[in-house]
Structure 1
Amino acid sequence: MNKTYKKFILSFIIIFITLLYFLYKYNNKVEQNQVDILVSNRVEIVQNELTNQKNHALSLAILFSKNQNVISFLENNKPKELKKELLTSLENIKNYTNINNIQIQVHTKDLKVFVRSWEDKDAGLSLESFRKGIVKVKETQEPFVSNELGKRFNIKAISPIFNQKEEYIGSIEVIVDYSDLKNRLKYMGIDVIALLKKEYLPIATYYQEYNMLDDFVVIQNDYDKKFYDYLSLNKEYLSNEQFYYKNKNKIITQIPLGDIDSKSVGVLMISFDKSEQNFNYLPKYEYMGEINAKDTNFKNHLLKEKKEIIIK
């Protein structure tokens, strides 16, 4: 084999290896861009679902505030009758939509607990010192919704109540936890766990006995145990040093959750499979539960038609 031929072979090998290297780098870059798009898409879906949950809670709060029985019972100081009215309404919501994670609280005009759908022990308790949302609604006399930190941390939609003379007589609050959000996102292939920073436990006393996860407390009783165990073994994923983390076929990211002051008090951890790269996916906001309609034809017809961002 002459020298010219050897040089040719050597040059060919070098060029071939160089091409393979750049092809490898290019493919990695393309894959990285695809993953970036996938993560951005999934984060947007979660944000949209959070917004959807808030809008739903706010709509209910406004509707309840216009209920003439609610107005009359509050104005005439009839808490027992009002609680019965609220429980009947919640039972109807549960029966016809299968949504059972809603609680309602009514406040007097001086910001005291008048009626709670889930308990009676705190009737007359003043909320002014630690419930900024209720104070805001009294001051503005306009509906308001946010993630708010109190004894619990969840979605709170508040609407003012006015009597027949258009006088402010109090407010009504629809409280929604993150269980429905978790179930809807699970249907879309996304697992979530809502976490509150443990430094806020002196305020959020409801979670004192809940499971901890590093510097956070899990604010749900019903959560994905596998995802919890996965985070327990990989606590670095709880930090926000990176936009997202990859582990084999799993991608983990998070959305900071802020209170009424837009201060981050917790995070919503998010997990999904890397293989689910459907970039054209758009969430559908139809209700995913069973429609409990007596008219079978009507039911069938409906079924047929059917990084730091702080979410406050």
Structure 2
Amino acid sequence: MSKTYKNFILLFILVVITLLYFLNKYNNIIHKNQIDILVSNRVEMVQNELTNQKNQALSLAILFSKNQNIINNLEQNNPKELKKELLKLLDNIKTYTNQNNIQVQIHTKDLKVFVRSWEDKDVGLNLESFRKGLVKVKETKEPFVSNELGKRFNIKAISPIFNKNDEYIGTIEVIMDYSDLKNRLKYMGIEIIPLLEKKYLQIAEYYKDNITLADYVVIQQEYDKKLYDFLLQHKEYLSNENFYYENKNRIITQIPLGNIDNQSVGVMVICFDKNEQNFNYLPKYEYLGDINTKSNFKNIEEKDRKEIIIK
């Protein structure tokens, strides 16, 4: 074999290797861009659903604040009748929407607990020292919603209450946890676990006995056990050093959960299958009635017969 031919073969091999190298590099770039877009879309979906839940809570708070029975019972210092009214409203919501994660709290104008829909303790407790959202609404006299830290960390929508003379007499607060959000996202192929930083347990004492995960505490009683065990084995995925992490077909990312000062006090871990086609969110139509085909065919035949006679 001549030297020229050998050089040609070596050059050809070198060119092929170089092309394969750049092709592989190009494919990796394309793959990363596709995953980046996918993760951005999923994060946006979660944020939109979270915003929708906040808007729902705020709408209820504003609507309840206009309820004349609530206004009268607060102004007349009648907590028993006021609680009956709240429980009736919540029972209607539960009946017609199957939504069970709503709680309501009424405060006096000096931000003391007046009525709670879920318990009767802490009546008269002054919340001004650690509930910044309530202070904000008292000062601005305008509705407000946020992920707020208190004895619990959840969605809190607050609206001022005015009497018929347009005088400020207190506030109403609609509280939602993340269970309904979790269920909706699950239909979209997305699993979430909301976490609160352990250092805030001195305020959020409601979670002091909850299960922990690295430097966080799980704030939902019902959570995905498989995802929890997975994160327990891969605690590095709780870091926000990277936009997202890949593990086989799984993508793990997170969004911050902040309080009224836009300071992150927790995170919502997001997990989904990167290969799953996400059509789960499409509505499912199901007809549960009886279809009388014989009657339908008979009507069609009679209609055709009449048309023939007319012609």
Length-normalised TM-score, structure 1: 0.89
Question: What is the CA–CA distance in structure 1 between the aligned matches of 2:109 and 2:159, rounded to whole Å?
Answer: 12
One-letter amino acid of the counterpart of residue 103, structure 1: Q
Question: What is the CA–CA distance in structure 1 between the aligned matches of 2:81 and 2:146, rounded to whole Å?
Answer: 29
Matches within 5 A, 1:203-218: 203-218=203-218
Question: What is the CA–CA distance in structure 2 between the aligned matches of 1:132 and 1:242, rounded to whole Å?
Answer: 32
State the partner residue of 2:301: none
SS of residue in 1 equivalent to 2:262 = coil
Question: What is the CA–CA distance in structure 2 between the aligned matches of 1:282 and 1:132, rounded to whole Å?
Answer: 38
Q: Which runs of 5+ in 1 are unaligned?
A: 291-295, 298-312
State the partner residue of 2:176: 176
Distance 1:55 1:121, change over 3 A: same
Question: What is the CA–CA distance in structure 1 between the aligned matches of 2:46 and 2:85, rounded to whole Å?
Answer: 34
State the partner residue of 2:72: 72
SS of residue in 1 equivalent to 2:202 = coil
One-letter amino acid of the counterpart of residue 71, structure 1: I
Question: What is the CA–CA distance in structure 2 between the aligned matches of 1:201 and 1:4, rounded to whole Å?
Answer: 77
Contact kept? 2:103, 2:175, Cα under 8 Å: yes
State the partner residue of 1:108: 108
State the partner residue of 2:263: 263
SS of residue in 1 equivalent to 2:257 = strand
Matches within 5 A, 1:141-152: 141-152=141-152
**Percent identity at matched positions?**
74
User: Cα RMSD over matched residues?
Assistant: 1.9
**The structure with more radius of gyration:** 2
Shift of 1:14: 1.1
State the partner residue of 2:247: 247
Aligned structure 1 segments of 4 or more residues deviating by more than 4 angstroms:
281-284
One-letter amino acid of the counterpart of residue 133, structure 1: G
SS of residue in 2 equivalent to 1:201 = helix
Question: What is the CA–CA distance in structure 1 between the aligned matches of 2:144 and 2:238, rounded to whole Å?
Answer: 30
State the partner residue of 2:156: 156
Contact kept? 2:187, 2:280, Cα under 8 Å: no
One-letter amino acid of the counterpart of residue 240, structure 2: N
State the partner residue of 2:10: 10
Shift of 1:276: 3.2
Of 10-19 and 177-186, more deviation after overlay is shown by: 10-19
Contact kept? 1:45, 1:282, Cα under 8 Å: no
Q: Which runs of 5+ in 2 are unaligned?
A: 291-311
Length-normalised TM-score, structure 2: 0.89
SS of residue in 2 equivalent to 1:145 = strand
Contact kept? 2:187, 2:281, Cα under 8 Å: no
One-letter amino acid of the counterpart of residue 138, structure 1: K
Question: What is the CA–CA distance in structure 1 between the aligned matches of 2:277 and 2:64, rounded to whole Å?
Answer: 41
Shift of 1:3: 2.2
Distance 1:191 1:282, change over 3 A: closer
Tell me whether 1:224 sits opposite 2:229 in the alignment.
no
Contact kept? 1:158, 1:174, Cα under 8 Å: yes
Contact kept? 1:65, 1:160, Cα under 8 Å: yes
Shift of 1:2: 2.2
One-letter amino acid of the counterpart of residue 39, structure 2: V
Question: What is the CA–CA distance in structure 1 between the aligned matches of 2:188 and 2:9, rounded to whole Å?
Answer: 53
Contact kept? 2:231, 2:238, Cα under 8 Å: yes
Question: What is the CA–CA distance in structure 2 between the aligned matches of 1:17 and 1:207, rounded to whole Å?
Answer: 58
SS of residue in 1 equivalent to 2:155 = strand
Aligned residue pairs: how many? 287
Distance 1:277 1:24, change over 3 A: farther
SS of residue in 2 equivalent to 1:243 = coil
Q: RCO (CA 8 Å, sep 6+): is it higher in 1 or 2?
A: 1
For residues 241-293 of structure 1, the C-alpha deviation after alignment (integer angstroms, 9 at most, x for no partner) is 11111111101011111111111100000101111366xx8978x9x9x9xxx
State the partner residue of 1:58: 58
One-letter amino acid of the counterpart of residue 150, structure 1: G
Tell me whether 1:131 sits opposite 2:131 in the alignment.
yes
Contact kept? 1:142, 1:159, Cα under 8 Å: yes
